[in-house]
């Protein structure tokens, strides 16, 4: 039996599963305790360094660690070690290796040396009072905006000083040269509730030591899971700076009313062989077979979440981000490579302290070489086994814009026919794989693949710019008003485009330059782009104003929403009965992807049109009865006000309540008088 086979046996896990919460470096002013899990090591030493730069030979001391319980090794360093950097030297059958601590909370430049840190000293003023501004709300109440930290600020027209940094995300009062709000002010104006940040932990593809170089990456290449990315900090050499500035960013977003979602990538690492966990316990963290790494992720290695100490590491890491950084949600990259037991435990563990944290991810079914038999993975088709975890709906994405595997294919909003039934299922939050509207994340674009507008331009080059804008907005009207969780890529409201210098559009801009990836703030002063952003604002405001669009169970959807029959080909419509707390007694939602207008007969009543053609919002544009004409390539949404009772009827109903209240007051006064009389006699 090979060592990697031994790792997954019940005997090994029974003997070497450590359940404590003190892995890593635990600082106090008097001393720091170190504990590392290294069950196959012959000896372990902790090295203390003056700096976090691996190119500098400045070791202060080397301390021999002692073997302890369940394969762990422990040591302590007397005195205040805050700010001291450290690594572990591990002696193995394979040789001697020096590695960073997998449980490091911060590091020096490029994540090679961990740092001992007094975490409380990095808390910004008022951090103890910092709270999730959307606490108490349901996942279907969220409107998620996906953003890369650097993309927000690097454009020359952003007006943001801290370009590419955590602090740039929370600068207020920033404007384009024409005076149009940018950055955080723009995001707030959109009305979104949650900001989804692309990977912001320490990743390997950007050299933190040379911020002046033209380098970019999305960050889906983890190096240190519990450490903020140094290239987003104003000083990547000082380990405390990245921690403090990330907390400042989160606090600033919370004060702006925006919750924070962290994009996490536990399914693979930057380099399986050099990853610190695998350096300390060879090949334990990853799925391997005969020395070869499983590669279902397409990134060179897959994480063995089914092994007990990897399972623990992932759970511990997510809990740490929620506890220490007040993270309000987690988006899991390629979560179909992680087992359902790990996902369920981390959700339950986090929500035990933070019940409002939301979880979702990419539940694609992927091929991977498991290290244990009969392990269920967190895929869309296992959604019923992870009831508190939501999944991206590629079903809706592809029906709206066309399959991501064919750049020339176009979807429902661009004129594809015969899609009505699939659109109906997705609007009602019930694609075939989804058991609950609270488990479907609805979207038309994200960082992956072409932007929505580029895809429409690519697949429908014969259409006018104006009609492609209509198609873009029709897609937004579907996913922003559908049952489930709406999700949008930053800049989609600005018709975001990623053109290539030689023509065409970038569909995978993970390492493309800023000229491709940055949000083009200069477009905002152009009337057609400003009008488009206004349309998105109106859709979001309408969704937030109507709880009927945010149901959380299949039963509620079935009771309150009905697809309309007898409409023109390709036209889809829904009649929604208003929830008890909805200002509308009923809502009609109509989608017309055709190039000609369509007329739809309405139920009895006087209906207020709130969304029509290129205009969206909560205020009625006009009222209609009998029927409504829906413009080409557009959505139309109407509301029916609740029946108002006449004043006389209301007063008549109130009379018994008033009489009853008066009688109660009289009785109370009488009782008080009697009590005073008795006390006086005494």
Our CA dihedral for 624, 625, 629, 635, rounded to 10 degrees, sits at 70
Does residue 36 lie within any of the structural domains? yes
Cα–chain center distance at 438: 14
Tens digits of per-residue pLDDT, 78-112? 999 999 999 999 999 999 999 999 999 999 999 99
In a domain? residue 530 = no
In whole angstroms, give the CA distance from residue 660 to residue 654. Answer: 10
What's the DSSP call for residue 230?
G
Q: Torsion over CA of 479, 480, 485 and 490, rounded to 10 degrees?
A: 100
Of 317, 184, 182, nearest in space to 262 by CA: 317
Q: Determine contact, residues 397/476, Cβ cutoff 8 Å.
A: no
Task: Give the tokens for residue 456.
Answer: 């429409």
What residues does 561 pair with on adjacent strands? 576
**Three-class DSSP category at 73:** strand
pLDDT tens across 541-557, in order?
999 999 999 999 999 99
Mean pLDDT of 641-659: 48
Active site residue 421: no
Asked whether 414 and 398 are in contact (CB, 8 A), the reply is no
**What is the tens place of the pLDDT at every residue in 292-303?**
999 999 999 999
Number of H helices, E strands in the chain: 16, 30
Q: Where are the beta strands (DSSP E) in 220-287?
A: 222-228, 259-264
For residues 188-217, one letter each, b for 16 or more C-beta atoms within 10 angstroms of the residue's C-beta and e for the rest, the string is eebbbbbbbbbbbbbbbbbebbebeeebbb
CA pair distance 659, 636, nearest whole angstrom: 48
The neighbouring-strand residues paired with 76 are 33
pLDDT tens profile 226-277: 999 999 999 999 999 999 999 999 999 999 999 999 999 999 999 999 999 9
CB 303 within 8 A of CB 295: no
Contact between 85 and 50 under an 8 Å Cβ cutoff? The reply is yes
Count of CA atoms in the C-beta half-sphere (13 A) of 286: 29
Active-site option among 141, 362, 398, 492:
362
> Alpha-carbon distance 320 to 370, whole Å?
27
Residue 60 within a domain: yes
For 320-329, what is each residue's pLDDT tens digit? 999 999 999 9
Asked if residue 196 lies in contact with residue 148, where contact means CB atoms within 8 angstroms, the answer is no
Each residue of 24-72: pLDDT tens digit? 999 999 999 999 999 999 999 999 999 999 989 999 999 999 999 999 9
The answer to the question of residue 110 being in a domain is yes
Cβ count near 537 (within 10 Å): 17
pLDDT computed for residue 641 by the predictor: 86
The CA distance from 125 to 35, in Å, is 31
Tell me, yes or no, whether 168 lies in a domain. no
Please indicate, yes or no, if residue 51 is contained in any of the structural domains: yes
CATH of the domain at 15: 2.60.40.10
- Give how far the C-alpha of residue 72 lies from the chain's centroid of Cα atoms, to the nearest Å: 34
pLDDT value for 645 = 47
Helix (H) or strand (E) holding 318: helix 308-325
Beta strands in 117-200 (DSSP E): 144-147, 194-197
Start-to-end CA span in the chain (Å): 93
Q: Give the count of domains, the chain.
A: 1
Query: Does the CA dihedral 411-414-417-419 come out positive or negative?
Result: positive
pLDDT band, very low/low/confident/very high, at 681 (cuts 50, 70, 90) = very low
Going by pLDDT thresholds of 50, 70 and 90, the confidence category of residue 211 is: confident
**Which residue among the candidates 202, 263, 333, 463 is catalytic per the annotation?**
333
Query: Structure pTM?
Result: 0.94
- Is 333 a residue of the active site? yes
Residue 62 lies in a domain: yes
Q: Are strands 485-489 and 561-563 parallel, antiparallel or unpaired?
A: unpaired
Q: How far is CA 13 from the centre of its chain?
A: 33
**pLDDT score, position 212:** 85
Q: Give me the helices (H) in 448-597, please.
A: 452-459, 465-481, 514-517, 527-545, 554-560
Residue span of the structural domain in which 16 resides: 3-122
Coil vs helix vs strand at 268? coil
Closest listed residue to residue 184, CA positions, set 515, 527, 490, 529: 490
Residue pointed to by tokens 């703030």:
521
| Count of alpha carbons within 13 angstroms of residue 529, beta-carbon side | 16
Strand partners, 573: 590
% residues pLDDT > 70 (the chain): 94
Residue 156 counted as domain residue: no
Closest CA to 334 of 370, 279, 372, 295: 295
- Per the CB < 8 A criterion, the answer to whether 459 and 505 are in contact is no
């Amino acid at each position: 039996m090979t060592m990697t086979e031994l790792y997954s046996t019940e005997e090994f896990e029974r003997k070497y599963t450590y359940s404590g919460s003190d892995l890593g470096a635990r600082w106090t002013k008097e001393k720091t305790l170190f504990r590392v899990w290294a069950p196959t090591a012959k000896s372990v030493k902790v090295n203390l360094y003056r700096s976090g730069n691996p190119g500098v030979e400045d070791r202060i001391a080397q301390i021999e660690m002692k073997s302890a319980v369940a394969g762990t090794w422990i040591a302590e360093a007397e005195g205040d070690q805050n700010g001291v950097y450290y690594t572990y030297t591990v002696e193995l059958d394979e040789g001697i290796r020096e590695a960073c601590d997998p449980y490091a909370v911060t590091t020096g430049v490029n994540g090679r040396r961990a740092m001992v840190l007094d975490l409380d000293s990095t808390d910004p003023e008022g951090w103890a009072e910092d709270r999730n501004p959307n606490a108490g709300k349901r996942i279907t109440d969220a409107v998620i905006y996906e953003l890369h930290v650097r993309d927000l600020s690097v454009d020359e027209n952003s007006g943001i000083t801290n370009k590419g940094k955590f602090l740039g995300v929370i600068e207020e009062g920033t404007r384009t040269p024409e005076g149009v709000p940018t950055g955080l002010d723009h995001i707030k104006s959109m009305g979104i509730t949650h900001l989804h940040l692309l990977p912001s932990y320490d990743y390997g593809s950007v050299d933190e030591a040379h911020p002046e170089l033209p380098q970019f990456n999305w960050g889906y290449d983890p190096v240190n899971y519990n450490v903020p990315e140094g290239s987003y900090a104003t000083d990547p050499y000082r380990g405390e700076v990245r921690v403090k500035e990330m907390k400042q960013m989160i606090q600033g977003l919370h004060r702006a009313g925006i919750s924070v979602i962290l994009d996490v990538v536990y399914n693979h690492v930057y380099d399986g062989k050099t990853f610190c966990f695998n350096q300390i316990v060879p090949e334990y963290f990853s799925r391997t077979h005969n020395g070869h790494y499983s590669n279902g992720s397409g990134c060179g290695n897959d994480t063995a979440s089914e092994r007990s100490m990897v399972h623990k590491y992932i759970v511990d890491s997510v809990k740490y981000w929620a506890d220490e950084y007040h993270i309000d949600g987690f988006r899991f990259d390629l979560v179909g490579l992680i087992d359902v037991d790990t996902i369920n435990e981390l959700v339950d563990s986090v929500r035990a302290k933070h019940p409002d944290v939301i979880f979702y991810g990419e539940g694609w079914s992927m091929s991977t070489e498991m290290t244990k038999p009969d392990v269920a993975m967190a895929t869309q088709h296992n959604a019923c086994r992870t009831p508190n975890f939501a999944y991206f709906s590629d079903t809706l994405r592809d029906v709206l814009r066309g399959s991501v595997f064919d750049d020339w294919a176009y979807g429902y909003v661009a004129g594809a026919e015969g899609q009505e039934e699939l659109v109906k299922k997705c609007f009602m939050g019930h694609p075939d794989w989804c058991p609950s509207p609270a488990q479907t994340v609805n979207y038309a674009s994200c960082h992956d693949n072409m932007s929505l507008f580029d895809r429409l331009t690519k697949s429908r080059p014969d259409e006018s710019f104006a009609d492609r804008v209509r198609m873009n907005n029709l897609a937004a009207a579907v996913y922003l008003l559908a049952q489930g969780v709406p999700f949008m890529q930053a800049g989609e409201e600005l018709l975001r485009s990623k053109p290539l210098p030689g023509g065409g559009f970038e569909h995978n801009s993970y390492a493309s330059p800023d000229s491709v990836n940055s949000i083009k703030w200069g477009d905002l002063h152009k009337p057609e782009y400003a009008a488009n952003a206004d349309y998105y604002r109106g859709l979001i405001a309408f969704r937030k104003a109507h709880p009927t669009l945010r149901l959380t169970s299949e039963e509620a959807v079935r009771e309150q929403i009905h697809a309309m029959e007898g409409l023109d080909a390709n036209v889809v419509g829904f009649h929604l009965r208003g929830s008890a707390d909805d200002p509308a007694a009923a809502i009609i939602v109509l989608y017309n992807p055709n190039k000609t207008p369509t007329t739809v007969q309405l139920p009895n009543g006087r209906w207020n049109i709130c969304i029509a053609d290129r205009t969206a919002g909560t205020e009625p544009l006009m009222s209609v009865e009998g029927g409504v004409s829906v413009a080409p390539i557009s959505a139309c949404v109407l509301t029916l006000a609740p029946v108002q009772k006449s004043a006389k009827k209301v007063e008549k109903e109130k009379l018994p309540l008033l009489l009853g209240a008066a009688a109660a007051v009289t009785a109370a006064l009488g009782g008080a008088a009697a009590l005073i009389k008795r006390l006086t006699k005494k």
